[in-house]
């Protein structure tokens, strides 16, 4: 548990593996016609998405070694790194294996074959896993020890502690263990996905024959036992491993090998009009349980015979096996990260109510929305007091006639489900689009779909051939002057739990053009309408990609005419080749482009003649950057006069072509100012920001030359928390903040004034 990691295969020569072909440079032909030129079809202009994803996870791992991050948060980042990697193997490796078996080779856009991608991925994973084990052993465990927290091996327990652990084991663990031997009368047991097992070689005393046996480590809520003295922990796996004689009395235990398997989780339940998608997804979930194994992790020191046996039984090759001397299950670190020691964690943050909704709860949320759009920025502003309240009030309001909502991922005890059921039971018309194919949430969404249907809710599963990823809701209300529609368009899921950790934006609106679009969108999703024209919303796959490329090309044309060309885009991933080629053309035309991409990014910035005007940053910190924000300067010197959009889609092929997505323009100046400030803070961050270089490597943004008292040292998240507190305090008349500018925003976008010098009313300050 304390040693380093080594690969099971011979080491592979280190290379600039992130690039699509090692040590290659694109052959670039400058484009002179900015409006219609073509980027040379050199495949090396893109990074491989899987390799780039591993670099994203490397940035997550770097948080574990960052001394400026509170200790228990560093421990949690280590658990997150491992969970991320588990999901990566479940989602991507099976697809690559299938490509190898079906003979798929490199393409115009991807010169590496699937086998080469897997080979280089494995090299990088071995390197990162070794780094992870070293950080745990050399940094985190000693620091935890200094804080009075210990993660122990069995050999580190005192005699009294061993006796305590054994007594606990006999009461709580021993009764649920099932030893399974493999012999002519007992087949090799099924090994469930992500389960930790102990493989044993045993024999009867005096007999030469040996046999294999397996003991599954139970998946209990916590996989650590805390000794009575407090804050001294030992993995349950360790306790079982050192008490196996109680499971195999009278047998000799010759070898014990902890191991874990990862199975392919890629299921795509497509259907035609005659199929039942719910039944199809249920069937695929059953098949997933028995899907092929794509990774075998084993503790170091195993005998070659044991490894050969496991690989034969699991139908694996040597390249699928990863030998590690780190923890077999890093998920146990979540228990340590949950210890209630505020001094070792990020300072507590409670999302604040939006200013417009910060008055009495009895104040009608609909009357507030009628006064003007309400912009929401989570987790700085409360999701519960805004979006959740919007649906809850609608369910209880007798004037509300209809509620429609799309659900992609929601929490296990979702208040949205309760509100929608309550609305249906009170006689309202309720229609819900439940995406059954949200990966790893399929079973939960099936459960919610059935529960909603049983309550009388109209449940649809989306458009044939497309996943529904849009984050939209619509409320239809009878008012004195007739029927009025209210809507929500956002970037994040309707999930009250993740909304406290994920950064997202959205608007509550009664704009008739947007709500008319929402009516059409829900008809498109539930009724298979063929609507292709929308007033304001950009809808994928109908118009979104085309419109974004048009906006990129407009910036090229404006720059060519002597006006400033400017693009800033913030998203989770960037991979769509059509959009990336448009960005390359814009860069060649001289347009300045900043991309803030948290996860994998396939565009190559900083290459002379192609992308020297493109810069890419990634921010990893206390909140997960999840919002999608798009800014196009429109040739204006004043930033707030450009075009702003927020939406559910990253610039990825799947989002723009194979999913239903929605993005909305942001018109009000106050809201544009919030978005501009967010983008400026992100681009100025010197605390938690990384810069992507042309060779595919990332480096932390340096704070060299930044004065010690400069707010850039606070980082994006702390600055936005400070701003949220200041805005609410200012609204409430707190004299300590009156007259003080919000950090950094006063110099960005001066407030527009009427000719009389007074600010225009909020409802009149729209742009575009």
CA-CA distance, 628 to 649, in Å (whole number)?
A: 7
CA-CA distance, 701 to 691, in Å (whole number)?
A: 6
Mean pLDDT of the residues in the chain: 88
Q: What is the pLDDT of residue 410?
A: 79
Residue 159 CB contacts under 8 Å (≥ 6 apart), including other chains = none
Q: Is the peptide bond before 219 cis (omega within 30 degrees of 0)?
A: no
The conformational region for residue 231 under phi > 0 = left, psi -120 to 50 = alpha, else beta, is left
Q: What is the pLDDT of residue 288?
A: 82
Q: What is the pLDDT of residue 566?
A: 98
CA-CA distance, 274 to 498, in Å (whole number)?
A: 36
Residue-by-residue DSSP string for 557-601: HHHHTTSPPEEEEEES-B--HHHHHHHHHHHHTT-EEEEEESS-B
List the catalytic residues: 469
Count CB atoms within 10 A of the CB of residue 215. Answer: 22
CATH of 43-344, one of 1.10.10.10, 3.30.1840.10, 3.40.140.10, 1.25.40.420: 3.30.1840.10
Q: What is the pLDDT of residue 267?
A: 64
The per-residue pLDDT for range 215-256, each reduced to its tens digit, is 999 998 889 999 999 999 999 999 999 999 999 999 999 999
Q: Which CATH class is domain 539-764?
A: alpha beta
CATH 3.30.870.10 fits 355-535, yes or no: yes
Q: pTM of the full predicted structure?
A: 0.90
Q: What is the pLDDT of residue 383?
A: 97
Q: Where are the domains of the chain?
A: 43-344, 355-535, 539-764
Same fold, 355-535 and 539-764: yes
Q: Comparing C-alpha atoms, which of 611, 609, 583 is closest to residue 28?
A: 609
Q: What is the pLDDT of residue 743?
A: 53
Q: What is the pLDDT of residue 754?
A: 35
- Residues of the chain short of pLDDT 50, as ranges, are 1-36, 271-274, 744-764, 768
CA-CA distance, 106 to 364, in Å (whole number)?
A: 58
Q: What is the pLDDT of residue 270?
A: 52
């Amino acid at each position: 548990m304390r040693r380093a990691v080594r690969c099971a295969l011979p080491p592979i020569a280190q290379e600039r593996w992130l690039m699509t072909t090692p040590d290659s440079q694109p052959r670039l032909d400058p484009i002179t016609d900015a409006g219609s030129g073509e980027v040379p079809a050199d495949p090396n202009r893109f990074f491989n998405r899987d390799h780039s994803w591993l670099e994203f996870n490397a940035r997550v791992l770097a948080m574990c070694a960052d001394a400026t991050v509170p200790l228990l948060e560093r421990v949690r980042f280590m658990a997150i790194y491992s969970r991320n990697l588990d999901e990566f193997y479940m989602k991507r490796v099976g697809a690559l294996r299938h490509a190898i078996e079906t003979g798929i080779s490199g393409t115009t856009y991807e010169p590496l074959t699937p086998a080469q991608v897997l080979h280089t991925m494995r090299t990088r994973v071995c390197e990162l896993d070794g780094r992870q084990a070293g950080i745990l052993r050399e940094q985190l465990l000693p620091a935890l020890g200094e804080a009075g927290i210990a993660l122990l091996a069995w050999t580190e327990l005192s005699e009294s502690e061993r006796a305590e652990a054994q007594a606990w084991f006999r009461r709580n663990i021993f009764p649920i263990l099932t030893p399974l031997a493999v012999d002519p009368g007992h087949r090799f047991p099924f090994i469930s996905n992500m389960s930790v097992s102990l493989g044993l070689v045993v024999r009867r005393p005096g007999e030469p024959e040996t046999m294999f046996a397996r003991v599954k480590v139970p998946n209990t809520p916590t996989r650590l036992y805390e000794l009575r003295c407090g804050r001294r922990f030992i993995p349950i796996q360790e306790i079982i491993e050192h008490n196996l004689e109680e499971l195999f009395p009278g047998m000799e235990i010759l070898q014990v090998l902890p191991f874990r398997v990862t199975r392919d989780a890629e299921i795509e339940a497509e259907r035609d009009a005659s199929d039942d998608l719910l039944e199809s997804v249920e069937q695929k979930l059953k098949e997933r349980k028995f899907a092929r194994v794509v990774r075998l992790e084993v503790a170091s020191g195993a005998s070659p015979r044991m490894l050969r046996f496991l690989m034969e039984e699991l139908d694996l090759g040597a390249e699928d096996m990863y030998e590690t001397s780190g923890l077999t299950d890093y998920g146990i670190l979540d228990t340590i990260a949950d210890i209630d020691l505020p001094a070792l964690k990020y300072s507590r943050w409670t999302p604040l109510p939006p200013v417009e909704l910060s008055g009495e709860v009895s104040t009608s949320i609909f009357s507030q929305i009628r006064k003007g759009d309400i912009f929401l920025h989570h987790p700085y502003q409360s999701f519960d007091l805004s979006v959740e309240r919007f649906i809850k009030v609608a369910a209880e309001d007798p004037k509300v006639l209809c509620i429609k909502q799309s659900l992609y991922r929601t929490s296990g005890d979702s208040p949205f489900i309760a509100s929608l059921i309550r609305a249906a039971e009170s006689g309202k018309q309720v229609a819900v689009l439940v995406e059954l194919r949200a990966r790893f949430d399929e079973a939960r969404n099936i459960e919610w779909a059935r529960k909603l249907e049983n309550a009388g809710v109209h449940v649809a599963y989306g458009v044939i051939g497309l996943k529904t990823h849009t984050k939209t809701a619509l409320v239809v209300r009878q008012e004195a002057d007739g029927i009025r529609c209210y809507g929500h368009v956002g970037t994040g899921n309707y999930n009250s739990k993740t909304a406290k950790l994920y950064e997202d934006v959205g608007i509550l609106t009664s704009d008739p053009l947007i709500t008319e679009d929402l009516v059409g969108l829900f008809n498109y999703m539930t009724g298979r309408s063929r609507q292709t024209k929308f007033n304001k919303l950009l809808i994928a796959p109908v118009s979104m990609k085309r419109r974004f490329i048009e906006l990129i090309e407009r910036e090229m044309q404006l720059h060519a005419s002597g006006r400033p060309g400017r693009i800033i885009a913030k998203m989770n991933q960037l991979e769509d080749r059509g959009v990336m080629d448009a960005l390359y053309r814009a860069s060649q035309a001289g347009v300045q482009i900043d991309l803030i991409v948290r996860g994998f990014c396939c565009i190559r910035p900083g290459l002379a003649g192609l992308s020297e005007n493109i810069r890419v940053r990634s921010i990893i910190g206390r909140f997960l950057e999840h919002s999608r924000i798009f800014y196009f300067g429109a040739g204006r010197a004043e930033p707030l006069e450009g075009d702003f959009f927020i939406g559910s889609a990253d610039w990825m092929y799947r989002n723009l072509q194979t999913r239903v997505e929605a993005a909305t323009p942001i018109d009000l100046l106050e809201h544009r100012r919030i978005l501009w400030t967010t983008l400026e803070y992100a681009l100025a961050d010197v605390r938690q920001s990384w810069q992507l270089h042309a060779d595919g490597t990332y480096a932390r943004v340096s704070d060299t030359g930044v004065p010690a008292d400069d707010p850039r040292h606070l980082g994006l998240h702390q600055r936005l928390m400070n701003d949220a507190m200041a805005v609410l305090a200012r609204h409430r008349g707190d004299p300590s903040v009156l007259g003080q500018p919000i950090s950094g925003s006063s110099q960005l976008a001066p407030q527009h004034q009427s000719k009389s010098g007074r600010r225009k009313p909020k409802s009149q300050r729209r742009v575009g």
